[in-house]
Structure 1
Amino acid sequence: MRNAPSTTPRRRPARALVALAVAALVGSLTVAPVLPPLSTYANGEVAEAPTTDLQSISVSSELTDPTVSRDSYAASTGPETLIAGGTNHDWARLVLFFGDWPTTDENVNVVLRWMRQENGPDNWWNRNNPLNNGYGSGGGSGLGSYDSLVTAAKYAADNLKARSFYTDIVAGLEAGTSADATARAIWASPWASSHYGNGTHWSTSPVPVIEAPADSW
C-alpha cells in the first residue's frame, strides 16, 4: 500500500536567498558615485583620484568691499604736442622739457616773462632765438639764430645746465615753486649785461598766448 502524500509544506531552496542577496548588491552599486579613472605620471606613478567632497565657505554679510589705493600719476606733454601747439607757452614748456625741469605754472611763467624781456611777446620767435641765447647760435652777444625753435629750446636748456654761473637759475627751475625766486637768479646772472635793471625792467603781468609761424618750428 502506497504512503499517503505528506501535507507538510516544502522548504524553498537556498538558491532563492542567494539571488535576493545578489540583487541587493547590484542595487547598491547602481547608486554608488562613479569615480574618474586614475591617471599616471610620466614616471609610472599613479595619481590619486580627486576627492568628490565639496567644501562650502560662508561670508559674513557685514563685510564691505576693501578700498583700493592707487598711486597718483601725471602725464607729461611730449615735444610733438608742444611743437604742434606752436605758441610761446608751448616753447616755454619745451625748454623745461629739454632741461628735465617740472612744468609747473611758476616755471612756465618765469620762462615766458624772460622771453618777453628779450624779444617782446609779439615777435617772441625773432631769429628763432626767443631768449637771445649766444650758445650754439653763432652770436656771442645773443644776436645769433637757430635753424628752428626746437633747436633753440635745446640750446637754452643746455646752456643753463652747462655753465656754473647759472646754477641758481637751474636750482629755481628744479624746485619749480617760485617764479619770483628764479627771476632774481636770472637778474643776478651774466645772461644779460643789464641784469634787467635788477628787476626794474621785468614785468610780472600775464603773457598772452601768441602763435609763431609754422616754418619757425
Structure 2
Amino acid sequence: MTLAIIGLVCGFSIVPTDEALASTLRIAPSTTLAPGAPAERVPGQAPAQELLVDATIAAPVVNRESLSATDGLQTLARVGTNEAWAKLVLMFGGWPQTDANLALMLRWMRQENGPPDWWNRNNPLNNGYGSGGGAGLGSYPDLVSAAEYCAKNLQRGYPDIVAGLEAGTSADATAAAIWASPWATSHYGNGSHWSTRPVEIVQAPASAWGL
C-alpha cells in the first residue's frame, strides 16, 4: 500500500516505501520567492509543498486590558462644575482623585464660598497666593489659574494638608489638618463650622473658566 506524501511546514517530507512501509527522511532545499511569485519546479527537486488548514478553525481570542485615563485640563474646564475644579486642583498638585479627596475639596469650597457662587472672584478657596489679595479677597483671571495657584500654595506651606491629600484615604483627617492650619483665621470653628453633608454640584459660567 502506498502512503501519500505528507507535506510539512519545516521543509521536509516522509516518504514510505511500498514494500516495507519504512520511512526515509528527505530534507528539501528551501527557496525564497518574491511575494505573489509562482513556484518554479527545479529539476531533480521535490514538488513544492503545501499546507492545508481547516477553514473551520477559529482565530484565537486576544484579551486586552481595559484602559482608563484621568480627565485632562480641557475636559474639566468644559465640564465646568465645582467638582471639576476640585479635580483640577488635585491634578495640579499630583494628588489622587479619590472619593475622599473629592469630598474634602467640595466641602472646603462650600465653607469658603458656597455652591451657588462657588466661582466668586474666580477664587473658590479664597486663596491669597497669586491673587493680589493677601487675606484671600483677591481674584484670578480664570478658574484654571485659581486651581494651579491653590495647589502651589498648599505645596509651599501646608505640609499636613498635603500629606492628607497624598494619602487620599480620609476626608475627615485632611479636614482636621485644614482646621489646624493658618488657611482661615477662624479655623472653621475647629470643625464646628464644617458640614459633611453632600455638596450640590453646580456649573460655573464658561467665562469664569476663560472659555
Instruction: Give the partner amino acid of 1:118.
Output: E
1:179 aligns with 2:171: yes
1:127 aligns with 2:121: yes
**1:111 — aligned with what?**
105
Letter of the structure 1 residue corresponding to residue 201 of structure 2: V
Q: CA deviation at 1:162?
A: 1.1
CA offsets per residue over residues 44-102 of structure 1, 9 Å max, x none?
xxxxxx99897x9xxxxxxxx8996x667531100101000011111000101111111
Cα gap change, 1:37 to 1:135, in 2 (>3 Å): closer
Higher helix proportion (structure 1 or 2)? 1
* Identical positions, percent: 64
Classify the secondary structure of the residue corresponding to 2:152: helix
1:190 match: secondary structure: coil
Which residue of the other structure, out of 197, 204, 208, is the alignment partner of 1:205? 197
The one-letter code matched in structure 1 to 2:119 is: W
Paired residue for 2:154, among 141, 152, 160? 160
Residues 124 and 53 of structure 1: CA distance in aligned 2, closer, same or farther (over 3 Å):
same
Query: SS in structure 2 opposite 1:202?
Result: coil
Structure 2: which 5+ residue stretches go unaligned? 1-27, 33-44, 52-59
Note the C-alpha offset of 1:119: 0.6
Query: TM-score, with normalisation over the residues of structure 1?
Result: 0.68
Q: Which amino acid aligns with 2:164?
A: G
Query: Cα RMSD between the aligned structures?
Result: 2.8
Alignment partner of 1:215 is 2:197 = no
User: TM-score of the superposition, structure 2-length normalised?
Assistant: 0.69
d(CA) in 2 for partners of 1:141, 1:73: 43
Q: Match of 1:148?
A: 142
- The alignment partner of 1:205 has SS state of coil
Equivalent residue pairs, number:
163
Q: Which residue of 2 aligns with 1:190?
A: 182
**Could you say if the C-alpha distance between residues 72 and 129 of structure 1 is closer, same or farther in structure 2, counting changes exceeding 3 Å?**
same
AA partner of residue 125 (structure 2): L
Partner of 2:72: 78
**When you count strand as a share of all residues, which structure comes out higher?**
2
Structure 1: stretches of 5+ with no match in the other structure: 1-34, 40-49, 57-64
Instruction: Write the letter of the residue equivalent to 1:127.
Output: R
Flag the 1:151–1:67 CA change in 2: closer, same or farther, 3 A.
closer
Q: Distance in 1 between the 2:154 and 2:46 partners?
A: 73
**1:52 and 1:144, CA in 2 relative to 1: closer, same or farther beyond 3 A?**
same
The runs of at least 4 consecutive aligned structure 1 residues that moved more than 3 Å come to 35-39, 50-54, 65-68, 70-74
